[in-house]
Amino acid sequence: NAGVMQNPRHLVRRRGQEARLRCSPMKGHSHVYWYRQLPEEGLKFMVYLQKENIIDESGMPKERFSAEFPKEGPSILRIQQVVRGDSAAYFCASASGSRHENTGELFFGEGSRLTVL
Amino acid sequence: KQEVTQIPAALSVPEGENLVLNCSFTDSAIYNLQWFRQDPGKGLTSLLLIQSSQREQTSGRLNASLDKSSGRSTLYIAASQPGDSATYLCAVRPKRGSNYKLTFGKGTLLTVNP
């Protein structure tokens, strides 16, 4: 029973390029969350998605960042025209519908570490 | 706005010592509190989840307590081992509003020396 899978684990981009980070939730999970961990900071909520729906994107910068969770395939966090300040670890977490409501337990992936040169 | 603080920021102990990590939060209206472990360059591993109605949870050498009224939680690690070296994160889930958003502390970096 595979856990939350994220790729790439490490990504290097030059300023102005695009970064795409992918997340496959645990089997049977339909809720996906993205968190960002900046250097020396705690994890911060970015966006909450269910299949084909963005539930809450209040933690995501209004420009250059977008997220999707299509009917088929992984969730994708997309960062356009990256800047140095985007360098961080991006974590994906998933939860099942019913279990999420009962226990509130999230399961995290190993993260994607973005470095912007 | 919920704020989570973890003290100390870093802790170094000799192997075999019992230790306590502290977590405090400003808004006591929480749904639950979760302790995670994060190894360098790795993801988060859930250690213990305490519901707001519970006082403590235990798993092996770990014991987490919750005092919701005072806004505090502690993670007790018994007989520490070098393999326990990692960053320990505390996160709370709010009871009201967007209760799917965890608020994390910055963590305590634990080093257990052989």
The string of pLDDT tens digits covering residues B19-38 is 999 999 999 999 899 999 99
Give B-chain residues touching A103 at CB under 8 angstroms: 32, 49, 51
Return the residue matching tokens 């790729």: A7
Q: In the beta sheet, which residues pair with residue A66?
A: A78
pLDDT per residue as tens digits for the range B48-96: 999 999 999 999 999 999 999 999 999 999 999 999 999 999 999 988 7
Give B-chain residues touching A41 at CB under 8 angstroms: 106
Q: Does A48 touch chain B (CB under 8 A)?
A: yes
What is the average pLDDT value for chain B, to the nearest integer?
93
Q: Does A104 touch chain B (CB under 8 A)?
A: yes
CB neighbour list of residue A103: distance below 8 Å, 6 or more residues apart? B32, B49, B51
The answer to whether the beta carbons of residues B83 and B73 sit under 8 Å apart is: no
pLDDT > 90? residue A102: no
pLDDT > 90? residue A29: no
Interface list for chain B against chain A, based on CB atoms closer than 8 Å: 4, 31-32, 34, 36, 41-46, 49, 51, 89, 91, 93, 98-107
pLDDT per residue as tens digits for the range A54-81: 999 999 999 999 999 999 999 999 999 9
What is the token pair recorded at A5?
């899978």
pLDDT score of A101 = 55
CB neighbour list of residue B60: distance below 8 Å, 6 or more residues apart? none
pLDDT score of A103 = 55
